[in-house]
C-alpha cells in the first residue's frame, strides 16, 4: 500500500470507522535514519489507533525506528515480511526475510527491547512455489519466541521472481486453511488473516477461525464498506453509522485545513475518497469533477457542490455531460 495509505487516506478512513486499526504505508528504515522524519511520521491525532509499518532488516536500525514510532505516538510497530516487490528485495527486506527467520527474530527482539507498544509481523505463508506448512509454522514459532505475539498472515505465497507485485496478489493461490492451521497450532498467538477478502460475509466466516482480518485494496477502492464495520463487527448502533455526504463535507473541511496549515493541494487528499460513491448513480461524473485539474483553484466545498450537481444531472438531447471550465 505504498503511496496509498498516507495520513490523508487514514484520516478519511477514520471518519468511516472509529474502531478498526489503521496501518501506515510501509516506511523504510533508511527513510527514517537518513531522511525527513516528520514527513514520514507525522499523522493526525484523529487516526488513533494507528500502527507504523516498517521495512528493514538491520536490527539496530529497526530498533531506532521503532523508538521513533513510539515517540511520535504510534500504537503499534509492524515489521513487513510480506512485500514481494523486487525493489524491496534489493533492500533485503519484505517477503525475502521469511527465508531468514533467525534474522527476523533478532529484528523483533531489538524492537521489543526498546518500545512498550506491541511489535507485530506481517508475512506470507511461504515463498516461491514451496507449500510445506512446516516452513511458515517454524517461521512463526521462531519469531514468536523473540517476543512477537501478533502475526498478520497473507494467505498466499510470495513468488520472488517472475511476478509483479500485482500478480503476486492474484497468481499464487489463496490457502486460507494454512492460516487457520497456524491459529490452531498457536492458540495463544493473535493470528490475523489477509488476502482476497472482499465482503462482510467473508470477514465473518474468517472470524470463526482466526482473531482478525486485514483489508487492503478492497477497503481503499470501496471505502463506504468501512462505514458498516463498527456496526457489523463491534455491535455499534446503526443510528451511529456515518452519513456519506457528511463524510465528504468533513473531508472538505480537512482539505481546507491542510491547505492553510501545510500548503497541501486538496487534489492530493481528494484522490483517496474517489471510491466514496462507488455503485451510486452518477458516481463516475462525481469522480470526474473531483479529479479535474481545472478545479484546483476552487475551495473544496465549491468542488463538492459542482460534483453533486454533475452527479445528479442527466444527459439531454444525446449530448454527454462535460465538466465546465472554471
Q: What positions carry a catalytic annotation?
A: 83
Could you tell me the CA-to-CA distances from 303 to 34, 129, 253, 312 in Å, in that order? 39, 49, 12, 14
Strands 22-23 and 27-28: unpaired
**8 Å CB contact between 62 and 104:** no
Closest of 159, 168, 226 to residue 198, by C-alpha:
226
CA 181 – CA 155 distance, rounded (Å):
11
Q: Is the peptide bond before 49 cis (omega within 30 degrees of 0)?
A: yes
Q: State the Cα–Cα distance between residues 8 and 270, nearest whole angstrom.
A: 9
User: What nine digits make up the cell of 44?
Assistant: 493526525
- What letter does residue 51 receive in the DSSP assignment? E
Amino acid at each position: 500500500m505504498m503511496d496509498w495509505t498516507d495520513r490523508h487516506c487514514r484520516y478519511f478512513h477514520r471518519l468511516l470507522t472509529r474502531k478498526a486499526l489503521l496501518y501506515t504505508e510501509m516506511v523504510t528504515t533508511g527513510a527514517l535514519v537518513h531522511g525527513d522524519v516528520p514527513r514520514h511520521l507525522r499523522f493526525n491525532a484523529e487516526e488513533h489507533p494507528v500502527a507504523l509499518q516498517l521495512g528493514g532488516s538491520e536490527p539496530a536500525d529497526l530498533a531506532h525506528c521503532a523508538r521513533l514510532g513510539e515517540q511520535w505516538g504510534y500504537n503499534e510497530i509492524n515489521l513487513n515480511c510480506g512485500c514481494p516487490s523486487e525493489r524491496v528485495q534489493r533492500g533485503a527486506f519484505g517477503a525475502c526475510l521469511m527465508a531468514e527467520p533467525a534474522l527476523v527474530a533478532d529484528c523483533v527482539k531489538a524492537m521489543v527491547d526498546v518500545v512498550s507498544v506491541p511489535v507485530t509481523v506481517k508475512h506470507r505463508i511461504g515463498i516461491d512455489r514451496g507449500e510445506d506448512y512446516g516452513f511458515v509454522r517454524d517461521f512463526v514459532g521462531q519469531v514468536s519466541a523473540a517476543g512477537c505475539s501478533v502475526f498478520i498472515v497473507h494467505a498466499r505465497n510470495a513468488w520472488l521472481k517472475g511476478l509483479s507485485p500485482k500478480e503476486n496478489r492474484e497468481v499464487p493461490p489463496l490457502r486460507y486453511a494454512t492460516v487457520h492451521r497456524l491459529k490452531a497450532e498457536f492458540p495463544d498467538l493473535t493470528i490475523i488473516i489477509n488476502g482476497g477478502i472482499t465482503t462482510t460475509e467473508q470477514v465473518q466466516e474468517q472470524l470463526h477461525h482466526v482473531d482478525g482480518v486485514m483489508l487492503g485494496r478492497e477497503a481503499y477502492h470501496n471505502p463506504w464498506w468501512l462505514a458498516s464495520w463498527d456496526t457489523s463487527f463491534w455491535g455499534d448502533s446503526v443510528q451511529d453509522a456515518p452519513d456519506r455526504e457528511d463524510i465528504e463535507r468533513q473531508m472538505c473541511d480537512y482539505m481546507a485545513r491542510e491547505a492553510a496549515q501545510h500548503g497541501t493541494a486538496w487534489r492530493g487528499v481528494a484522490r483517496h475518497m474517489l471510491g466514496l460513491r462507488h455503485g451510486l448513480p452518477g458516481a463516475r461524473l462525481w469522480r470526474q469533477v473531483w479529479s479535474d485539474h481545472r478545479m484546483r483553484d476552487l475551495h473544496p466545498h465549491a468542488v463538492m457542490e459542482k460534483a453533486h450537481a454533475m452527479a445528479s444531472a442527466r444527459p439531454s438531447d444525446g449530448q454527454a455531460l462535460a465538466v465546465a471550465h472554471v
